Chain A
């Protein structure tokens, strides 16, 4: 119901501006500013923090011993340095993949249990991973992005991610670069960031996860990639897959230097 109320607000804010494009963009910006205070993402953050501290799983322990890269239990600023290489797993992981790892290793969940509902849908299908991601990312707000490329596997993930960015396939020949490789472009009325530049990557990457008003859901960066590939007419990007992590590495690293600014709110 909360989501529906927010959606109605969105429609009310956008509708009067339909007369001209410039003013539509202005109105969308005003509407976003108005909603920044009281972003519904806070509901996901609060639920995620409770999940982080709650004794759960077959082993009945909390996630507070989970090492997100800065040491066990250190949450503050951790997201600003992800993805990164984890020696215990001997691979590069993004936040969502690392959370699944901790749920399996610390709490004793099976991997398929940990990955149940990776993307939520209303009250019937809430996603614990989205909530946990909202909480962890909120603890990096204001922290400059500082994704490392010091390990050979981090460098490899970055370079593979760059290749994937240009990979054309499917029925429509689309690659990420088709929409996100040039300055100042739009799809319909939606501005498209050039993700190959620091400025474009910073603006885009630092504002995920985001509460999507049109969906009434908080969405993570894994979701953003999944949905981009859907629109590219590709098959389904598997959650936590190497492609998802490599692309995240490419984009997160390109965003280095900018203060992380999520969870945000988006149309």
Chain B
């Protein structure tokens, strides 16, 4: 057999084998990225820029629900910790009553929402807080008696404000939104939710 015919046969064989061989992971990931870009259209306040992932989103997507290697998780946490802007006045606790309203409010930033309408944190979607509210979810841990169990010293206040501001600073690939970092809530709103969790008068701590 002349060499060129042998090469041709080899190529044909490789193509035939290719049909049965699984496409490699990298190709599927690239295809998925292209599919995402081609499948959405801007609507209301939600533009296509929302599909542009940052490093944290990319790493947590690739983890596909599995635990990240510790060194990558630490890197994500450190990068996110650096984004937290603590209040300039050094005060972490706002008005717990307003915090309860923010925790109840599910609207905000959906393409169907009024851009000038309220933006809430919807804490009850995932957490138990005030015992009076029976309609709470279980994706996150119960926060009932959050402050009663931890005390409300300045370190706990600072940690709690930071956790709401950017949850990924403390748990890489947390399910919880980064309310401050992504400008979902204002600094004052984060203070109010912090107060809901830590104020001794808050129903959460009764």
Contact = CB atoms under 8 A, between A and B. Distances in A.
A187 B60 contact: no
Interface residues of B, number: 50
A172 B177 contact: yes
A244 B41 CA distance: 13
Contacts of A166: 61-65
Given A178-B175, A185-B138, A234 B46 contact: yes
Contacts of B139: 178-179, 182, 185-187, 192
Interface string A164-191: 1011111111110111011011111110
Given A159-B28, A169-B51, A181 B111 contact: no
A196 interface: yes
Nearest to A168: B57
Nearest to B52: A169
B65 A177 contact: yes
A20 B46 contact: no
A238 B138 contact: no
B64 A238 contact: no
A53 to B, nearest CB: 33
B23 A156 contact: yes
A233 B31 CA distance: 22
A150 to B, nearest CB: 11
A236 B41 contact: yes
Given A167-B36, A179-B139, A233 B53 contact: no
A27 interface: no
Contact of A156 (B28, B40, B50, B138): B28
B35 A169 contact: no
A238 B23 contact: no
25 contacts: A18-B134, A156-B23, A159-B28, A162-B64, A163-B32, A167-B61, A171-B183, A172-B184, A173-B178, A174-B177, A175-B61, A178-B175, A187-B137, A188-B135, A188-B137, A189-B137, A233-B50, A233-B110, A234-B40, A235-B46, A235-B48, A235-B50, A236-B40, A238-B40, A242-B39
Interface of B: 19, 22-23, 28-29, 31-32, 35-36, 38-43, 46-48, 50-53, 56-57, 60-65, 109-112, 124-126, 134-139, 168, 175, 177-178, 182-184
